[in-house]
Amino acid sequence: MSQDLLKTPLHALHIEMGAKMVPFAGYDMPVQYALGVRKEHIHCREHAGLFDVSHMGQLRLHGENAAKALEALVPVDIIDLPEGKQRYALFTNEQGGLMDDLMVTNFGDHLFVVVNAACKEQDIAHLRANIPADVELEVIEDRALLALQGPEAAAVLATLNPAVADMVFMDAAKMDLAGIECLVSRSGYTGEDGYEISVPEDKAEEFARRLLLKEEVEWIGLGARDSLRLECGLCLYGHDIDTTTTPVEGSLLWAISKPRRADGERAGGFPGADIILDQIATKDVSRKRVGLLGSSKAPVREGAVLFDADDNEIGIVTSGTFGPTKGQPVAMGYVSTVNAAIGTEVFAEVRGKKLPMTVEKMPFVPQRYYRG
């Protein structure tokens, strides 16, 4: 292992559990455990999977103008985000491109923000450069982040505090779990019901071990994390969305809050607003992010070039794998708008062969978030 790689507070536990470690976003991270990627994926869909996502950036914004300051950087309603609720947001640039996607929680006396590991330093710099002096940015260095995902996640976590069962999707609360003060949200990135739990780093191993004592719970690595989120149509920043893609091209219109749209009460006011709002109004984009299902057994990976039936190059795959739950190759990528309609047949070039794929509605596997 390169000495330059950072370690999460759970690194020694991953080694002890026989994880295969790989470099990821500057960290030495578990890609899989003894079960293997496919079995880990299925275990999470059927039971409960535990993920170490401590490489993500955890931040706090303090000050009575924190919501207003953050709202100026995202096309999302932050000002009216209720206390105890979480929302998905996007940092945009002046060209309407996406700098990162993030989760924002209103904890009443501050906003709690989770950003992607690979974008952490850039996002911190972006916030520091753009928030006013009366808003304080606190970078949290002493907490781990765990995700417990799957249909049995709620029952498992409720053994540590029954109150978690009363939460619904995107609820968030400070609560005691097994005597440890945690920040808990009912959310995650697998498409399953579940929770993300911020834990003091000196209690992280004790907490993880406590969960792993439950027979329903298995460690899940980055490999299955990727196939789980892909089956449920969820973007991976730096692959499916980046600074060259706008929310409209990225099929993320749902993430642009109504109050920030052209006819909303706080229209625009975020970086790239003119470009993004014009694309929403005119639907004038040359390409769109779409879901793709393969009809052969061969997985189609990121970077595969896409062609139409007349052999014209029309796009590229940005994420792809074999979907263990779907039972066939799943991918997402960008195609020219004229080829983006559901049911369109396209062809992915894999090792010199053109494999047929069909543009399909995402998610490929139904999302099972608990909405009460």
Residue with the two structure tokens 């769109």? 288
Q: Is 196 annotated as a binding residue?
A: yes
Beta strands in 178-267 (DSSP E): 180-185, 194-200, 217-219
Residue 167, token pair as written in the block = 């939460």
Determine the longest span between alpha carbons in the chain, in angstroms.
Answer: 63
d(CA 156, CA 178): 12
What token pair was written down for 286?
A: 């040359």
End-to-end Cα spacing for the chain: 45
For residue 85, the 8-state DSSP code is B
Peptide bond into 363 cis (omega under 30): yes
Q: Give the CA distances from residue 18 to residues 12, 21, 25, 208, 344, in Å, rounded to whole numbers and listed in that order.
A: 10, 9, 21, 15, 44
Report the distance separating Cα 208 and Cα 227, nearest Å: 23
**Which among 177, 118, 169 has a CA at the least distance from the CA of 146?**
177
Pairing outcome for strands 143-149 and 48-52: antiparallel
Q: How far apart are CA 206 and CA 202, in angstroms?
A: 8
Which residues face 34 on adjacent strands?
A: none
Question: Which amino acids are annotated as binding site for substrate, given as ranges?
Answer: 196
Binding site per annotation, positions: 196
